[in-house]
């Protein structure tokens, strides 16, 4: 699962909020799909700009992420690097686009169920739940760090 961090949690929550409040959504459009909407939040690019960047590669976001080359400065690779900088992996990008991460689906309110990748309400629920899981992971890490500090001998 993604590297839990505040920027990723905030980006997921803002994306969910924008979608909940009527942001343009079209799963078949690189700039308005699940990853496209997240990229709008992260990069401040428009859906049209994201579409133009994405067209410098081939395929859906899953294929674009799999073909990602960190050395290449092609526009699509710059977008993928923004998602990776947030803490997402290639698998996370695929799961965001298809709403398939088992851990997220199992943590949904009401229990496990499959969501539809092209249904706005399902995307909002998935992004919110993913953010909740990452935030919980962050809190657990803080607790572990605090316990470690408290159990360490003080320097003399």
Would you state the pLDDT for residue 148?
A: 62
The residues near 30 (Cβ < 8 Å, ≥ 6 apart) are 36, 50, 51, 54, 55, 61
Mean pLDDT of 125-136: 97
> Residue 131 — pLDDT band, cuts 50, 70, 90?
very high
Provide the whole-model pTM. Answer: 0.89
pLDDT class of 154 with cuts at 50, 70, 90: low
41 and 14 Cβ atoms separated by less than 8 Å? yes
Q: Which three-class secondary structure state does DSSP give residue 100?
A: coil
pLDDT digits (tens, 9 = 90+) for 58-96: 888 988 888 888 777 788 889 999 999 999 999 999 999
Q: What confidence tier does 1 reach under pLDDT thresholds 50, 70, 90?
A: confident
* Domain spans of the chain, in order of start: 6-151
The closest alpha carbon to 83, from 135, 43, 33, belongs to 43
Q: 23: exposed, middle or buried (C-beta count within 10 Å: 0-12, 13-18, 19+)? A: middle
pLDDT at 36 over 90: yes
Instruction: Inform me whether the pLDDT recorded for 144 exceeds 90.
Output: no
């Amino acid at each position: 699962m993604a590297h839990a961090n505040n920027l990723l949690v905030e980006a997921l929550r803002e994306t969910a909020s924008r979608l909940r409040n009527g942001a343009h959504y079209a799963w078949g459009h690189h700039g308005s799909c699940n990853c496209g909407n997240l990229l709008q939040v992260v990069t401040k690019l428009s859906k049209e700009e994201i579409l133009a960047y994405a067209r410098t590669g081939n395929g859906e976001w899953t294929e674009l992420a799999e073909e990602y080359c960190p050395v290449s400065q092609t526009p699509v690779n710059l977008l993928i690097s923004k998602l990776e900088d947030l803490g997402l992996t290639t698998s996370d990008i695929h799961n965001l686009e298809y709403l398939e991460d088992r851990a997220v689906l199992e943590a949904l309110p009401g229990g496990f169920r499959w969501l539809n990748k092209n249904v706005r309400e399902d995307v909002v629920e998935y992004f919110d739940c993913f953010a909740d899981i990452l935030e919980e992971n962050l809190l657990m890490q803080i607790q572990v760090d605090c316990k470690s500090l408290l159990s360490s001998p003080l320097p003399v």
